[in-house]
Amino acid sequence: GENVEQHPSTLSVQEGDSAVIKCTYSDSASNYFPWYKQELGKRPQLIIDIRSNVGEKKDQRIAVTLNKTAKHFSLHITETQPEDSAVYFCAASWSGGSYIPTFGRGTSLIVHP
Amino acid sequence: ETGVTQSPTHLIKTRGQQVTLRCSSQSGHNTVSWYQQALGQGPQFIFQYYREEENGRGNFPPRFSGLQFPNYSSELNVNALELDDSALYLCASSLDTGLGNTIYFGEGSWLTVV
């Protein structure tokens, strides 16, 4: 089955800095990669996703890049704000697996004012 | 809001008891998945239902079972509760389009086993 590794486990930045979270996956058949943000005590919420036919996708201060050859994808947050503080999860899935996502262990992002 | 609703939001059970958690999927979604999230961990896939049939199962023992109803709502049942079953149980619904299912989580049910 799919295995998703996520790094770092904790990331501490100053407000206004950029933050980068990296994930690798093992199954080359994976073709859909969502990212979720989970605030303390709340449900994970989808913030951005990318499919394997695209190398990069951007939505305001958030961007995701995908390198299929190396089997890794990354989340980039620019101009971080305190409200970006949360746990971020990457996931990978594929059609043969009924698109059941396998999640990484999460990155706790702390943005200091 | 995702439109996925779960009940109850919090509950406490004793080891050995049984629990049923409920989920109403987002309107138009035909697929429901259940996840277990322990503190400090990512969501772990339990199983998925598509049109009332189990469509995939994670590495969980048979005492974790489920149902999906004709209206696509779902139940998660856990028998013979163990202390390690204490976790946030998340229901997620999606629409199977064959193009990559985005799943939308409910708020979860916090289960504490004592």
pLDDT tens digit string along A24-80? 999 998 989 999 999 998 899 999 999 888 899 999 999 999 999 999 999 999 999
Is A44–B105 a contact, with Cβ atoms under 8 angstroms apart?
Answer: yes
Q: Encode burial over A73-99: b for 16+ CB neighbours within 10 A, e otherwise.
A: bbbbbeebeeebbbbbbbbbbbeebbb
Is B45–A46 a contact, with Cβ atoms under 8 angstroms apart?
Answer: no
Substitution target in B9, B102, B104 with the highest count of A β-carbons within 10 Å is: B102
Determine the distance in angstroms separating the CA of A100 from the nearest CA of chain B, rounded to an integer: 8
**Does residue B30 register a pLDDT over 60?**
yes
Q: Is B2 exposed, middle or buried, given 0-12, 13-18 or 19+ CB atoms closer than 10 A?
A: middle
Partner residue opposite A43 with nearest CB, options B45, B56, B107: B107
pLDDT on residue B12:
98
pLDDT on residue B43:
93
pLDDT on residue B100:
58
Partner residue opposite B42 with nearest CB, options A32, A93, A106: A106
Partner residue opposite A43 with nearest CB, options B55, B56, B105: B105
Is A89–B43 a contact, with Cβ atoms under 8 angstroms apart?
Answer: yes
Determine the distance in angstroms separating the CA of A28 from the nearest CA of chain B, rounded to an integer: 15
Q: Which residue in chain B has the smallest CA separation from A3?
A: B44
pLDDT tens digit string along B58-91? 999 999 999 999 988 999 999 999 999 999 999 9
pLDDT on residue A1:
78
Phi and psi at A71, nearest 5°, equal 60, 50
* Contact residues, chain A, for B5 at CB < 8 Å: none
- For residue A60, give every residue at least 6 positions away whose Cβ sits within 8 Å of its Cβ, in sequence order, or none: none
